[in-house]
Structures are given as structure tokens and as C-alpha cells.
Amino acid sequence: MKLYVKCDQCHNYIYLNTTASTRRALSQRLRSKSFYLTCPYCQHTRYYRINDAYAQVGPSGIPAGAIIGVILGGLIAGPPGLAIGSVAGATFGSASDKIEKRKVDTFNIERI
């Protein structure tokens, strides 16, 4: 899960170099309910509230389960394990993706 705010000038997502599972945790980490941030794309500095920060499933478009599955499968039984691993990985991946999605929803729903 990664956190971002949206630049109101150029509409790019600015990813925060910190993690928190909830907005409350984020405000504790920043020791504030607001912060200033300069957009790396257009250099526009803006005042953001914690409620302007959103979570997104991350870090990339590659499902984590696929990678883990192949590694585990390869370790267990060589080539046949690769097939087993990718099936198990797909199952594991979708379960952890659901958990991740739930975390993202929890973050985005909370208002402080």
C-alpha cells in the first residue's frame, strides 16, 4: 500500500515517502494533521491536510503473488514445482490482494 496526495496544479499523484496504515497513524508520524509539500512535477507548493492523503494498492502493477509463487515453486520441486507454485501463488496473491484492498479502503474511508 502506498500513500499519495494529488497535486491540484498539474493533477499528478505525489507519493509520500512514508507509510501508515491509517490517517490517524499518518498524523502521528508527521506529528501534525497537515503538511506542506512541493510537487516534484510542477514545483507547486501546497498545504495538505491528512484527509487529502489517499492510499493506493501498490507498489506496482505486478501481482506480488505471482512472484512469490514462482520462487516457492522453484525451490520445492524444480520445473513441476513452477506450475504448482504459480497456481498456489495466484491463490495466495488474490487473498493478499484482498487484504491489501481492505487496508486501502480502511485508510481512505477514515477522516480525522
Q: Which residues bind Zn ion (CB under 5 A)?
A: 7, 9-10, 39, 41-42, 44
Nearer of residues 5 and 50 to Zn ion, judged by Cβ: 5
Number of Cβ atoms within 10 Å of the Cβ of 75 = 10
Taking the complex as a whole, the smallest distance from the CB of residue 85 to Zn ion amounts, in Å, to 42
Judged by beta carbon, residue 44 or residue 103, the one nearer Zn ion is 44
Q: Where are the beta strands (DSSP E) in 1-112?
A: 2-6, 13-15, 34-38, 45-49, 54-56
Work out the burial of residue 7: count CB atoms within 10 Å of its CB; fewer than 13 is exposed, 13-18 middle, 19 or more buried: buried
Residue with smaller CB distance to Zn ion, 2 or 44: 44
Rounded Cα–Cα distance for residues 21 and 109 (Å): 12
Closest approach of Cβ 41 to Zn ion, in Å? 4
Q: Report the nearest approach of Zn ion to the CB of residue 45 (Å).
A: 10
- Residue pair 4/56 in contact (Cβ under 8 Å)? The answer is yes
Distance in Å, CB of 60 to Zn ion, minimum = 22
Nearer to Zn ion, 7 or 82 (CB): 7
